[in-house]
Amino acid sequence: MKKQLYLICMFSLIVLFLAGCKKNNEPSVKDGNVEPKITINYSTQSLTKEDLINYNSNLLASSNVEDFKKFSLTINFQGTGNMKNPDISIPLLNKIINSLDKKRYIGGNASTLNEENKTVAEVVQVIYTKDLPVEKLKKKLKENPVIINWETKDGEKKEKKYNLSEYLKYNN
């Protein structure tokens, strides 16, 4: 009898312990009130002759392929499924780059993908980088942040700003 009472008490304690561990009061992304997960990647890559010809075939006659780089910006905004009006505002990078010292923007493209629970924005640009004033570029990027806005399920408006100069991985 004592053994059965002991087993019942132990079983009850284990059930109570497990029930207490399972409780989670933290809001989830499904609640729409949690900050979304935002990742930013901004980097440069070298180009091949074929890449450069695709943008402008006349450039190789007056320059070396090493004088150009591809700038790639990718912004992932996850957790948007139950949020209202997610919006990513990217500054006009071609105008920022051309305002540094001379015309440097050669060409590029941009795209946005909106799925059920994420938004992805991508910008790819070919830039003339010979003697590029990188510190001046970073200053201009700091003055023109990426702005991400959304509304929670409860109607609260949220905004985050991101300084692209902190994310730029410039490879010489």
State how far the Cα of 119 lies from the Cα of 125, in Å rounded to an integer.
20
Q: What is the pLDDT of residue 25?
A: 41
Average the pLDDT over each of 20-34, 49-63, 151-165 and give the range with the smallest value: 20-34
Amino acid identity for residue 74 in this structure = T
Choice between 80 and 24, residue whose per-residue pLDDT is larger: 80
- Compute the average pLDDT of residues 27-47: 76
pLDDT band at 46 (very low <50, low <70, confident <90, very high): very high
* pLDDT(122) > 90: yes
Q: What percent of the chain has pLDDT over 70?
A: 78
* pLDDT(158) > 50: yes
- 160 close to 143: Cβ distance less than 8 angstroms: no
Structure token pair of residue 62 = 């007056």
Q: What percent of the chain has pLDDT over 90?
A: 47
Q: Which tens digit of pLDDT belongs to each residue from 68-121?
A: 999 999 999 887 776 788 888 999 999 999 999 999 999 899 999 888 788 899
Choice between 62 and 50, residue whose per-residue pLDDT is larger: 50
State how far the Cα of 27 lies from the Cα of 156, in Å rounded to an integer.
15
